């Protein structure tokens, strides 16, 4: 059985593949040309095309006090219908990004991705007799990325079951088989994701089957400090009319931006107080967030405003 730190590390590896961050990016919205999943969202990039985005947003909207539930509920039917016009609905995409800062959304995503992806991965690995931490990470990645069952069957056809090939030998063969499949796939987007298998091959080469820390994946270091990082301060729902302040083009302006600047100046940050959300304000805000254990995303959402007294 994996320890909690091993589970967190396995998930962090896949989070890096998906969003570039060990702890994931709850507000990440992505749309890649040619992606059959269409719009993708959240720390594990669940897709509109699979119907999972609908299930995630439906679950979030059912959470008491969810800050963006009222704004997102009108989109539920379109999500259920897999209406591809949502791909380019910038208001909807903006709401998803903003909702990522809501603790209710973060908790919903944690629960949803654990239920839909991690637990089935652990069960699939157990059925094959795979027990090492790196093996679980490989299965979890394929469950998130897709085609685990097909690649499992192809590997079994070549080398037999893990009971015959040995767990480490079987996982090594699986990673090679999957890498070849990705590299030669007709969809060029999948071909670009061979880095996932390259990362696993590096861990196999290092014989880090227990995912002992520190681990470096795609230039991102995973160590104990990553998991010691305090999560955003839980807050109750905010008025949906209160906008989350962030760096945009053109820059956000107004009394709320000025109030944010004044609060940061009061906290010791040397920035201009002009009511314009520019790069200087974003940098100061990220420093403030990091200092106070928040996600340093440069967005003045509910948790940040609460600590600043806004």
Domain ranges of the chain: 4-224, 255-308
307 alpha carbon, distance to own chain's centre: 25
Residue 29: its H or E element: strand 29-30
Domain 4-224 is of which CATH architecture? Up-down Bundle (1.20)
Tens-binned pLDDT, residue by residue, of the chain (310 aa): 899 999 999 999 999 999 899 998 999 999 987 778 899 999 989 999 999 999 999 999 998 888 899 999 999 999 999 999 999 999 999 999 989 988 889 989 999 999 999 999 999 999 999 999 999 999 999 999 999 999 999 999 999 999 999 999 999 999 999 999 999 999 898 999 999 999 999 999 999 999 999 999 999 999 999 888 644 443 333 443 467 888 887 788 877 888 899 999 988 999 988 888 899 999 999 999 888 878 888 988 877 888 888 8
Look-up of token digits 């969809």: 187
- The token pair that represents 111 in the structure block: 């629960």
Q: Are 227 and 211 in contact (CB under 8 A)?
A: no
pTM of the model: 0.72
């Amino acid at each position: 059985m994996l320890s909690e730190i091993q589970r967190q590390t396995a998930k962090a590896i896949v989070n890096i593949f998906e969003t570039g961050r060990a702890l994931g990016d709850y507000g990440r919205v992505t749309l890649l040309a040619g992606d059959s999943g269409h719009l993708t969202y959240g720390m594990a990039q669940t897709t509109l095309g699979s119907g999972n985005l609908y299930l995630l947003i439906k679950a979030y909207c059912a959470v008491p006090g969810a800050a963006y539930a009222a704004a997102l509920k009108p989109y539920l039917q379109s999500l259920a219908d897999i209406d591809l016009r949502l791909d380019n609905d910038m208001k909807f995409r903006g709401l998803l990004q903003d909702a990522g800062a809501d603790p209710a959304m973060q908790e919903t995503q944690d629960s949803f991705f654990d239920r839909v992806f991690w637990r089935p991965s652990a069960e699939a690995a157990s059925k094959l007799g795979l027990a090492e931490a790196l093996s679980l990470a490989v299965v979890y990645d394929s469950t998130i990325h897709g085609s685990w069952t097909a690649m499992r069957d192809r590997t079994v056809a070549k080398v037999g079951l893990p009971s015959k090939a040995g767990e480490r030998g079987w996982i090594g063969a699986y990673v090679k088989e999957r890498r070849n499949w990705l590299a030669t796939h007709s969809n060029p987007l999948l071909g670009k994701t061979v880095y996932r298998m390259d990362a696993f091959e590096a861990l196999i080469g290092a014989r880090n089957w227990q995912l002992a820390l520190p681990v470096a994946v795609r230039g991102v270091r995973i160590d104990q400090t990553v998991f010691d990082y305090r999560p955003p301060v839980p807050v109750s729902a905010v008025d949906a009319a209160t906008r989350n302040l962030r760096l945009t083009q053109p820059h956000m302006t107004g009394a709320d931006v000025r109030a944010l600047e004044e609060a940061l100046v009061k906290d010791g940050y040397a920035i201009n107080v002009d009511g314009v959300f520019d790069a200087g304000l974003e940098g100061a805000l990220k420093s403030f967030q990091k200092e106070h254990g928040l996600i340093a995303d440069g967005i003045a959402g509910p948790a940040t405003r609460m600590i600043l007294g806004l």
